[in-house]
Amino acid sequence: MTEQKNPLDMLFHWAQKYPHKPYLFQPVDGEWRSYTWSQVEDQVRRMAAALRSLVTEPGSRIAISGRNTAHWIMADLAISLAGHVSVGLYPKQATGAVRYILDHSETKLVFVGPMPDEDDFEKALPPGVKRIAFPYPDVGIKCDLRWDDLIARHAPLASTVVPAPDTLMTLIYTSGTTGNPKGVMVTYGNMIFAGEGLMQVMPPQGQERFFSYLPLAHAFERGAVEFASLHFGAEVHFLESIEKLAEQLQEVAPTRFFGVPLVYGRIQAGVLKKLPQQKLERLNKIPILRGFVRRKILAGIGLQNARMCFVGAAPMPIPLMEWFKKYLGLEIYQGYGMTENSIYATASRPGANRLGAVGREMPGANLKISEDGEILFKHPGVMKGYYKEPEKTQEVFTADGYLRTGDKGRVDADGYLYITGRVKDIFKTLKGKYVAPAPIEGALSRNTDIDQLCFVGTGLKQPIMLVSLAPAARARPKNDVEKGLLAEMAAVNKNLEAHEEIAKILVVKDAWTIDNGLMTPTLKVKRNEVEKRYGSLVQVEAEKRTPIAWEA
């Protein structure tokens, strides 16, 4: 199939071509249930009929909550088929953010899925918003309607209206490190363009199998898993709960794996817990054993079938990428994009992967670097704008229509893009010198004892690195951890200007998580929240001359 159409067209295509082939695989209480292409189409058409009877005004906003499930994707497609607009909600999203999104989008109805924070979520629901429960035993929130009841009561919606390319398909609210989330208006035309480019650069290689565990409310998982599965005719297997991540990844053994740096770091830590680095290095030097050890490790973590492994959402430390290549034979492909451009910007790929870069420009992405170094894009995948926020929409575009990414970067002679920092993250020290924290954070993150880090310096004579330790490092002797951190700091400082040098490493006692508000739902550090939380401690430690300190 050469012509690419919208996600609904693709669903109907596969349902007609392979009606009895399983598409969505859902674990419930440890047992896998599958839904064929024709079953998914039938449920989508029935739910679309139900939605039209419940919400009569076309283009109304309907939200989807809970962790990733087969019914999350079916609900998303049913909302489109009914002529409405979907709004994804993150699991464990702050109550205030959920309430803001539902109010701001004027959501009429919400699908309720299994989630770890039911009490908080229920408090966030505005009065008058009806609730439809997904058919899972662990949906504990009281709902007005149930998925299976609605499916049984409604005949499949027979008519299919082909939406115009500029028709709004979904609102994807940015997870946001500052302020209220912004509703990115994604059209059918945006998705069609991104899908065509993906098929051109990374077409399916036989039967593809995806493992869905990153939030579907985020543009990365939505594009790379949900919409890509519809273009590829790929299977999608869902994670039942975060506690079962290692177990179910091994069961699924995907052909393409998508992760954020934190996930790859946890995979590495899991491997090294069973096979310490020194032993792994010894075995890797013995040719007759190297291949056997790699195959055993890959099968143990569930990546033995992975033809491609991608990382997104945040920069991945180069040493971590090198470790996967050297010891497991896995090349990690780093891409770059944002919700506002449908995650369609640059990507590394087989035969075009340069460590430290975020790949080359995708076909038709129209990349440009502004005079002040900001990365810009202009293509049909770029959003329609921010919902109800014309002023913010105007701010994010240049006078000639390019999308401002807020990232600074450079392109080398071979067309590879390198991110050099965030425009807004750059700070000025008391010496009046500007410092871009991202490259320095990336350099220090080579130390595998570090889980997260944040370089701060506003109002200081010299910047300080805040460090949250990985779980394994917390269990190790303090002196050992200190030696490694100080050695890495010295190595990093050798390559920095005097005003950029790390004056001190401050090891904090708590992990940074979504729950404590220091990470976004997409696992990015909330720099402003970290600075706020540790501001007074940083000021105290800045006056002491020790090169490392631990929060009491």
Q: Which of 421, 445, 467 is the last residue of a domain?
A: 421
388 and 440 share a domain?
no
- 469 forms beta bridges with 450
> CB of 480 within 8 A of CB of 438?
no
**pLDDT for 4:** 52
224 and 118 share a domain?
yes
CATH classification of the domain holding 76:
3.40.50.980
DSSP 255-310: SEEEE-HHHHHHHHHHHHHHS-HHHHHHHHT-HHHHHHHHHHHHHHHT-TT-SEEE
Torsion, Cα 70 306 217 226, to 10 degrees, reads -50
CATH classification of the domain holding 257:
3.40.50.12780
308 and 286 share a domain?
yes
364 and 505 share a domain?
no
What is the Cα–Cα distance from 74 to 46, expressed in whole angstroms? 11
Residue 2: inside a domain, yes or no? no
Burial 350-379 (b: 16+ CB within 10 A, else e): eeebbeebbbbbbeebbbeeeeeebbbbbb
CATH classification of the domain holding 498:
3.30.300.30
Q: Which of 421, 440, 471 is the last residue of a domain?
A: 421
Type of residue at 5? K
> CB of 143 within 8 A of CB of 133?
yes
What is the Cα–Cα distance from 23 to 37, expressed in whole angstroms? 6
416 and 437 share a domain?
no
Residue 64: inside a domain, yes or no? yes
Residue 235: inside a domain, yes or no? no
224 and 245 share a domain?
no
407 and 434 share a domain?
no
What is the Cα–Cα distance from 493 to 490, expressed in whole angstroms? 5
Residue 399: inside a domain, yes or no? yes
Residue 1: inside a domain, yes or no? no
Type of residue at 453? L
Q: Which of 403, 421, 439 is the last residue of a domain?
A: 421
**pLDDT for 175:** 67
**Structural domain range at position 273:** 240-421
260 and 395 share a domain?
yes
State the 10-residue block means of pLDDT for the chain, 552 residues long: 73 96 95 97 98 95 97 98 96 89 96 92 92 93 95 93 90 77 95 92 93 93 94 96 91 94 87 91 90 94 95 81 94 93 94 91 96 94 96 95 93 93 78 80 85 88 92 88 92 88 93 85 81 89 90 86
131 and 172 share a domain?
yes
Three-class secondary structure of residue 542 per DSSP: helix
Total domains present in the chain: 3
160 and 200 share a domain?
yes
**pLDDT for 2:** 41
Output the CA–CA distances (angstroms, integers) from residue 432 to 427, 446, 459, 538, in the order listed.
9, 29, 10, 19
Residue 39: inside a domain, yes or no? yes
* Percent of the chain that is helix, strand, coil (3-state, to 5): 40, 20, 40
316 CA to centre of own chain: 13
What is the Cα–Cα distance from 335 to 213, expressed in whole angstroms? 18
277 and 375 share a domain?
yes
Order the strands of the 308-311 sheet from edge to edge.
256-259, 308-311, 332-336, 346-347, 360-361
Residue 211: inside a domain, yes or no? no
In terms of DSSP bridges, do strands 504-508 and 464-469 run parallel, antiparallel, or are they unpaired? parallel
> CB of 526 within 8 A of CB of 519?
yes
What is the Cα–Cα distance from 358 to 363, expressed in whole angstroms? 15
Segment 470-520, tens digit of pLDDT: 888 888 899 999 999 999 999 999 888 888 899 999 999 998 988 888 887
Please report, for the chain, how many H helices and E strands are present, in that order.
19, 27
Three-class secondary structure of residue 327 per DSSP: helix
DSSP 39-75: HHHHHHHHHHHHHHHH--STT-EEEE-SS--HHHHHH
11 and 72 share a domain?
yes
Output the CA–CA distances (angstroms, integers) from residue 219 to 172, 174, 184, in the order listed.
7, 9, 10
